[in-house]
Amino acid sequence: MAGLELLSDQGYRVDGRRAGELRKIQARMGVFAQADGSAYIEQGNTKALAVVYGPHEIRGSRARALPDRALVNCQYSSATFSTGERKRRPHGDRKSCEMGLQLRQTFEAAILTQLHPRSQIDIYVQVLQADGGTYAACVNAATLAVLDAGIPMRDFVCACSAGFVDGTALADLSHVEEAAGGPQLALALLPASGQIALLEMDARLHEDHLERVLEAAAQAARDVHTLLDRVVRQHRAELRGGHRLVLGAGFPAADPAHLHVGERHGLHHGGGAVCGRRPCPGFCPGLRRPPQEVGGSASGLA
Amino acid sequence: MAAGFKTVEPLEYYRRFLKENCRPDGRELGEFRTTTVNIGSISTADGSALVKLGNTTVICGVKAEFAAPSTDAPDKGYVVPNVDLPPLCSSRFRSGPPGEEAQVASQFIADVIENSQIIQKEDLCISPGKLVWVLYCDLICLDYDGNILDACTFALLAALKNVQLPEVTINEETALAEVNLKKKSYLNIRTHPVATSFAVFDDTLLIVDPTGEEEHLATGTLTIVMDEEGKLCCLHKPGMFPPLQS
């Protein structure tokens, strides 16, 4: 793209970041009452939310049930108003199906599906605003949502995108950088063991550069892990702080092997008779905010 | 103990509360849930709003595009609403084409826009017979806990108030539209319709702003849309058994 310098001479990108710098990430767990687990994440201007139902009985044909493990069903949907040009089909088109499949493959690797045979875990991801790195934002949101639902996982799944411009590897691409047409790599990593859950790259990249781009993406994913870990601990502190809730056994100390967090928030709201307090101050972040919020970087969910 | 009774006899459990003129979540019969609204958070949309009515969460995004007007109304633009109830908002919805409830809600919102005249379609005209604005209003329910119609109407109104359209001039020589993104103006919102939903219990009791469970246990629901001048815009009473006495 003539005229738009993705990397300036001083090493600054279009939005002022350095080559390996991530965009600002804000995340929130337990945002919805109906779902078993939910999370909302903002990575720069990309806003995604993930909702988990399960593990529950298999929907539809029983023949699909796997006798030794759970079925993971992922669906990706991006709102029609999420991109600059209005998207005609929010779901069901090829790109959404491909994303859904990639998410499923990623999470089948991370969730301990052997613990829930013959059942189904649904992960729904909705992108509200897309500004590059949608796969990464979806994976990060889904990780938090699965943790919020209390489904055991091997480890966090942290994802980030990376690109290559002028001999430098860039981490966490924004839409402008993605649209420039250079090589893009999407990486989903299990940080503790360093195992890769999913690696995808399209566009041409010389094999000599692959190592560097992969390392940039991996480092960025590890940075994301630090952040997500902090979000989870903060959420747990909030849960412990104000409410009489039963927290899952094996509560995370520093044990990455089994991460059990959270309790069904649905009990707290829909039933109402459980806490008898109204309005419930702790959970729904929307209730804590003043009634009218104009503009701001976060939507009412965060 | 209460939870057990609630599972076995949900209607009786509810009646016990209704007898005391209150509801399980502590509200009065005529009390709304806490409502919060967040406007303008989606920057890719021309206008957006997120509304939370208790747990029910609806987000509305408005995108404006150019279109050619129809021949029988050459100076009228279009407002196209669409309500999406995806499987993520509740486990009762399946993925696939829009179900009955989503289609009914979409039609309801279209009726409200039409009847209440929130926007004069003539305001959306750029060049009569050649170019008009079409506003695609997409409402996505993120969390379903009853009273979806109220939340959708509110989100739509808030999003429309947030929409800013750039100034468009038709170049005389080339007959092409020139968009000036620097000069944006808000839409002219003429009325402010507000929807109120009721659930009818045992054919006698009327409760306001039903939650998901209450809607399920009620004998019927009723939605009324009024604007600030006290004019009735829409009345939605989808069936009931036995029929309500007038």
The ipTM is 0.88
Scan residues 107-136 of B and list those with Cβ closer than 8 Å to A: 136
Structural domains of chain A sorted by starting position, each given as residue range(s) with its CATH number in brackets: 25-272 (3.30.230.70)
Strands lying side by side in the sheet with B194-201: B205-208, B194-201, B220-226, B232-236
Q: What's the mean pLDDT in A246-254?
A: 38
Scan residues 101-140 of A and list those with Cβ closer than 8 Å to B: 122, 124, 126, 128-131
A37 neighbourhood in chain B, CB within 8 Å: none
Residue labelled with tokens 């979409």: B106
Scan residues 24-43 of B and list those with Cβ closer than 8 Å to A: 24-27, 34-43
pLDDT at res. B246? 54
Q: Rounded to an integer, what distance in angstroms lies between the CA atom of residue A201 and that of residue A104?
A: 18
Inter-chain CB proximity B24 and A271 less than 8 Å: yes
pLDDT in tens, A165-194: 888 899 999 999 998 888 999 999 999 999
pLDDT at res. A93? 87
Mutate to test the interface with B, among A56, A81, A121 (most CBs of B within 10 A): A81
Place A60 in a pLDDT band, splitting at 50, 70 and 90.
confident
Scan residues 49-108 of A and list those with Cβ closer than 8 Å to B: 49, 51, 53, 56, 59, 75, 77, 79-84, 86, 90-91
Average pLDDT, chain A: 80
DSSP secondary-structure letter at A296?
-
Inter-chain CB proximity B43 and A45 less than 8 Å: yes
In SS3 terms, A112-176 reads as: CHHHCCCEEEEEEEEEEECCCCHHHHHHHHHHHHHHHCCCCECCCCEEEEEEEECCEEEECCCHH
pLDDT at res. A293? 36
Q: Which residues of chain B carry a pLDDT beneath 70?
A: 240-246
pLDDT at res. A90? 74
A47 neighbourhood in chain B, CB within 8 Å: 41-42
Q: Rounded to an integer, what distance in angstroms lies between the CA atom of residue A258 and that of residue A155?
A: 7
Inter-chain CB proximity B36 and A32 less than 8 Å: no
| Contact status, residue A144 vs residue A232, Cβ threshold 8 Å | yes
Q: Which two tokens stand for residue B225?
A: 């849309």
Nearest residue in B to A50, CA atom = B88
